[in-house]
Chain A
Amino acid sequence: EDQVTQSPEALRLQEGESSSLNCSYTVSGLRGLFWYRQDPGKGPEFLFTLYSAGEEKEKERLKATLTKKESFLHITAPKPEDSATYLCAVQARLNYGGSQGNLIFGKGTKLSVKP
């Protein structure tokens, strides 16, 4: 069964204190892994797609990395405006069947950055 587990559930950082969020996954043939940011009461905002182990993507203070078992979202010198819930999702390859290529989401990591 395709599954995504995010840890920790919640993370509190001081402004400038770098850290990482984890997304562990099991999927029958990974087509892509996706990171989203969600603010309270709003829809998720797309951040990154990663397709293969070893791939990295960066955007401002965020960098996403991917291995065969997990992905990390590294946050460097975070600011209070980075506070949000970060969601991870995986998509299986269509020819493996199962999820038929739909996204499987983790429960998210709620990040709070204090000034």
Chain B
Amino acid sequence: DGGITQSPKYLFRKEGQNVTLSCEQNLNHDAMYWYRQDPGQGLRLIYYSQIVNDFQKGDIAEGYSVSREKKESFPLTVTSAQKNPTAFYLCASSPRDGEQFFGPGTRLTVL
């Protein structure tokens, strides 16, 4: 069953804590993306990767970090430098220059 999985579904972070969100795909897609969604706003691009071992900053990369060591995996770390991390985080993947397909999302809440 091909698709994109994200875990966990819900995540709670304390002030000053780093947390890592998981994203895995078995669609054999080259490109992967991380977006942030806030109420009343469009999806905003955090980071993207078009090939293994390479990634680029999106529009709102400050306070976030990523890695792309495997084609299937693109984890996102929300660091303590991100001052307003409470949001719905979406991972997507696409074939080269193709449509993006999204995972189910992770809702992060700061306590």
Contacts and interface: CB of A to CB of B under 8 A. Distances in A.
Contact of A42 (B56, B92, B104): B104
A105 to B, nearest CB: 4
A43 B102 contact: yes
- Among the interface residues B41, B42, B44, which one has the most CB atoms of the partner chain A within 10 A? B42
A46 B43 contact: no
A44 B102 contact: yes
B87 to A, nearest CB: 13
A108 interface: yes
B40 interface: yes
Consensus secondary structure, chain B interface: strand
Interface in B86-111: 88, 90, 92, 97, 99-105, 107
A43 B104 contact: yes
A42 B105 contact: yes
A46 B97 contact: no
Nearest to A44: B102
A102 B60 CA distance: 13
B42 A108 contact: yes
Contact of A87 (B43, B44, B99): B43
A106 B42 contact: yes
Interface in B23-77: 33, 40-45, 48, 56, 58
A102 B43 contact: no
A103 B90 contact: no
5 contacts: A4-B42, A43-B92, A44-B90, A45-B102, A105-B43
Q: What are the 8 closest A-B residue pairs judged by CB atoms, nearest first? A: A43-B102, A105-B42, A105-B43, A107-B42, A44-B102, A43-B105, A43-B104, A43-B103
Interface of B: 4, 6, 33, 40-45, 48, 56, 58, 88, 90, 92, 97, 99-105, 107
